[in-house]
A and B are shown apart, each in its own frame.
Chain A
């Protein structure tokens, strides 16, 4: 079975711009979560999508938004980028009804300058 793939692997954006990060779930998984990991910190939960709807959100402003598609892939969109948005963004997929079997992708390293 394929794992979780994220694209792009690295990205540099300018403050105020918008960015879209993409995630393909592991085969058979129907739930996607996104995490932000600042340098030297543990991952922080942004939100989760299940059946194409947001199903839980962490302490992040509305300029962080997402989508989940019928094939369970997902996008994370960030508007009006700020310098503090520079981080590793991790996507994790799971099959909700089987408990917490999360599989993480390798992440997208976003640098805002």
Chain B
């Protein structure tokens, strides 16, 4: 089945710093790719997604480009805020007969200091 490897954290940045969280995947075909965010004490929220190669997903200043050549979907933000402090998960469908199953990375904890 498909799998995802996510940059280990934690990541600590100062406000307005540039953020990159790496995510690489192994997949059959070209499945949709997702970034989810989990704020303290909450469930998962879809941050952005890309449904085909070369697509760029974006939301709330975050961006990620689906790159089939490097099998990557790195998350970036040009200027982080304290409110971006959360856990970020890269995910993709598990593939094969596992319809509806998402496979998640282990998560990257981001802490942004004022």
Q: A82-113, CB under 8 A of B: which get 1 and which 0? A: 00000010101010100110111111000000
Which residues of chain A are within 8 angstroms of B107 by Cβ–Cβ distance? 40-42
Which residues of chain A are within 8 angstroms of B6 by Cβ–Cβ distance? 42
Which residues of chain A are within 8 angstroms of B103 by Cβ–Cβ distance? 45
Q: How far is the CA of A109 from the CA of B107 in the complex (A)?
A: 18
Nearest CB of chain A from residue B93's CB, rounded to whole Å: 6
Q: A2-38, CB under 8 A of B: which get 1 and which 0? A: 0000100000000000000000000000010101000
Tell me if B44 and A43 are in contact (CB < 8 A).
Answer: yes
Question: Looking at the complex, which one of A55, A88, A107 makes contact with B100 (CB distance below 8 Å)?
Answer: A55
Nearest CB of chain B from residue A75's CB, rounded to whole Å: 17
Tell me if B43 and A106 are in contact (CB < 8 A).
Answer: yes
Question: Looking at the complex, which one of B42, B94, B97 makes contact with A106 (CB distance below 8 Å)?
Answer: B42
Question: Looking at the complex, which one of B32, B42, B100 makes contact with A48 (CB distance below 8 Å)?
Answer: B100
A46's closest neighbor in chain B, by CB? B101
Tell me if B44 and A45 are in contact (CB < 8 A).
Answer: no
Q: B28-47, CB under 8 A of A: which get 1 and which 0? A: 00001010100000111110
Which residues of chain A are within 8 angstroms of B94 by Cβ–Cβ distance? 45
- Indicate if B22 sits at the interface (CB-CB under 8 A): no
Q: With A43-B89, A56-B100 given, can you name 16 additional A-B contacts, CB distance below 8 Å?
A: A33-B101, A42-B6, A42-B89, A42-B91, A42-B104, A44-B104, A45-B101, A45-B103, A48-B100, A48-B101, A56-B99, A90-B43, A94-B100, A104-B44, A106-B43, A107-B43
16 CB < 8 A contacts A-B:
A35-B102, A42-B89, A43-B102, A45-B101, A45-B103, A48-B100, A50-B100, A56-B97, A56-B98, A58-B101, A90-B44, A96-B99, A103-B46, A104-B43, A104-B44, A106-B42
Q: Which of A's residues lie within 8 Å of B, judged by CB? A: 6, 31, 33, 35, 40-45, 48, 50, 55-56, 58, 88, 90, 92, 94, 96, 99-100, 102-107
